Structure 1
């Protein structure tokens, strides 16, 4: 909690240059101290020195540090947003993990569990056009769609990996538009990402996968900064992704944005 509070202050004061580096350093020290408990929050963690006697305490601390990583990657980064390392950290930390608080006094914190299986049928019908999920993405996984490199998705395994990533983003797109659910929606897409898609995005950096990541960043860029203080570098991330995309894919993105 201290680490998250410190990085919040860093992000708050960063535009003014008012001792923000002191807050960032303080947050990093608190984070490092918390990680000595070995909460298994990073792929590099191999020790077994975790000493907490309470599963709820472990879970609460883990979730604070997850949000610290999100804020560090999406708002506090001094260079380009660390999207790939964020994806790997979130997946390593939260996939196949216990998300349920057991203590009766903490039951109100279990509200997000149901949102992880959220289906945005009603939202898609009632959302105003500018905020709707891009139609462009719904057929991106199909070889018959009018998009570049159709031969890539002739392989049904590859096509299905894209389809699942798009479906997960579709859910997160509308979940982040629900007040109070923004962080869960942002994290859910990374948690739901399959191993196959993660490889295509993080390791191989395939063009289609980068396009999906581009629209994920676009989703984050639409969040209210006053409510979602842990964001802020999405435009930088979109510009960075654009530099990795071929002109033909950027034309598709531009056409989709104009619809």
Structure 2
């Protein structure tokens, strides 16, 4: 995982060229409110779905042959959980969720179609409540490769700019605090080696009341392979645990104001 991440960072540095000069023109930075519908599924095991809300920041910086775009997002909320215990008994409960997305993209200067490459990080923390519940944290490091179609032009609301990405999972892991269930249980950490994500977003940037504004509609999807197994001590019994293959779908919108 470390070699893959270092290689991706090296590509970004080579593409970026000269040091940053200044914020990139109108609409260089935005702070947005975000509303999202979240759905996570482990086929034949469990499903978690519900609404999340939060805030997102985005900024752009020009370099010699491209633009650097930085973004950070925090989503929180509660979702409904439908699954089963390790023994197979059905469980319906609520969870507390927190999702953090961080990224840096190198965007080409070509228009109306510009290539995009970068590095991204995703953190999702679940608090599975109720009897037998425990905390679980998912962490992904990924390589986004894609394109931007259209211009970010504040003089017109339509047509919007399209942002498309394929996200290659470089590595990650899932930490499960099984000691929340029983103090005698050992916590587990399962490595993730395979998976990918997709993102599609339509973004309109426009002027209003002397300020730039931005409206975005997005779809995000993750498909993650079964994790590597780990043997943990569950109260004196050595047990092999793993994370099943899973899918995540997030559909949402954001509305922001320029800085």
Instruction: Tell me whether the two structures share a fold, i.e. TM-score over 0.5.
Output: no
TM-score normalized by the length of structure 1:
0.22
Higher-Rg structure is 2
TM-score (norm 2): 0.22
More helix by percentage: 1
